[in-house]
Structure 1
Amino acid sequence: MESFKLTFVHRKTNHTLEELTADTTLMELRYAIEEVTFVPVDKQKLLVPRSAGIADLNSRPDGNAEADHRTLAEAGLARNSDVKVTVLGPSSQELERLYQDESEMHRRNAPRQYHPSLLRGTKARNTTAPGSSMSPFGSIQAHPTTSISSPLHGKVIDYLTRLSRDAGILHICKLHQFRIGTLTELLPWEHPGLLGLNENAGQRILLRIRTDDAEGFRDYKTTRRVLVHELAHNKISEHPPEFKILNSELNAQIEAFERAQQDGTHSLVEGDVYEPSAPALSSGLSGGHRLGGSTGGSVASGDADDRRQRILAATMRRLEREEQEIEQSCGSAAGSASQHGRRAPSAP
């Protein structure tokens, strides 16, 4: 049987497979691609121009790439061997790093409880004006490679729509007049390790919402935190101290807003939200002694204020360390100071 060559492109690099025949199966083709690119068979996406008249190479029997016994002739590649196949997918080494980064991000983005003293004097203003239906998000789009007929298309739109309608997100968008042209997704293999991207101060925000195999979806609260980070880049590029302040403010405002909703109101009471008692403030001191005084008795209001300030300062230092880790995991795309991305940190 006459053999032929097939050219495929992986990350802008051309590769040629030789000695292929019409009865070579797509399974065998995928294994040959894996030997060259180290992209696992089940993680490969094979794309061809629609005008080439070639069958969908990713429509697999039983959803298993290893069971795809269609021949290149049956798929239409044998008679169109001059067509370049585009291969998408992460290598096995990248997947391992991504799995490690994913675990680290889950650890770092576990639900956090802001110390009540951080909310002293904070007011969650009512941003739900009657009759107002204007969304700060211009359009919601799935990735261009996700076909409308794909079962994943609707799930992607639903996930992004949920983010765009999140009450906490809408709240800070109203307070800071954030506007986003397009909210869309960033596929895992496009920029390995990159979790978010803000182009031109909100013209387009891309979020990596899918798991590494592009079939499932990442934790919602983790993605929402990435979105908050990218929204902060609407106002401040790079990561100067002002960005850190704004990013912390946005998270605190969402926390205050959601706490107010849980309390059944849209605004917090004026004044102190939390007034800890003296024993609660001194419970961490050895033997129950009051700093600078003797045991027993009531604590003077000046000492209580001083301790409250020290608790607040310690909490702020902890949050500052966490935000610093986030900033270190956020990189800017080369050549554009207004385009920012949040990268998953390297595994320790």
Structure 2
Amino acid sequence: MQSKTPSIHLTFTHRGATHPLSLLPESTLAYLQERLEELTAVPQENQKLLYKGKKTLGPDATISDAGLKDGMKVQLIGPTAEELGGLKATESEHQRKERILRERAQRAPVKVRSTGPSSSTDSQYTFHRIEPLPHLPNPESARNLLTKLANDPAIRHVMRKHQFSVGVLTELAPHEQPHLLGLNVNAGQAIKLRLRTDRYDGFRLFTEVRRVLCHELTHNVWGDHDNNFKELNSTLNKEVAEFERAQAAGAHQLGGGGFGPPQSALEAEAQEYALGGSYTLGGPGASSPGDSPEERRRKVLEATMNRLRKEEEELEDRCGTAGHP
């Protein structure tokens, strides 16, 4: 009489929750992923397992081949389907990018929402948790700044429009990651922002941190700082400026304007600044007394585009998302 193969007892942890699981040694990794999705709601393609002696194998390999042994504790990392904005777990990367491109192509005017009861999209496309770092000074002030960012009307507008969902909005400690201004973990599982000054004697300007937030929100869609990323990031910044300009003017609709059809999203963003006449007297782009209005605007636009490019280069250099494991 053959003896029954003993089961392997494993303990999986995800977001502080513990999930015990018993499997046969010949169970496949694909079967394990199915069970983990049932337990945690983390889609299979977004699951990452961390344990000692891990071996990278295909889904048809057994859990024994993968180095999982009886009594092991395994950490599961990955966003849930809800945090991914309701995307179906079976949606392929190609389908996801095609959907994003279709949404971006829709440029119909958007009405500025009046204050009133929040809709279902407000609860879906939002920051689901706010978490300052409790071991840093003045955590309540950090919470207030994070809450202000999360509730900023322009940020809420772009999150609804582009269907962004973020699990946790939190902060980066300057002494732990002094070079970074922002980090997006697992395409929206968490966004971490540099809120404080190097000496912990205050907080960075709201507008500066919000610009970093727009940069990190772009990483919900694009991982690397390629042309796709740059286009969407410029679009988000333009939409934030456009939304605020419409609110300030009491307009009922958001739309284009200025110099006519823009050559690029970055140029369109620069036009938002140029129309407001934001340039430094005597600095690059400053006009001469004999310049025509068109020439003055051209110089302001050129100077503003150069400044925006430099700002984006600094943000890319101080962003920890691209290539982050």
TM-score of the pair, normalised by structure 1 = 0.47
Q: Which has the higher contact order (CA 8 A, sep 6+)?
A: 1
Please give the TM-score of this superposition, normalised by the length of structure 2: 0.50
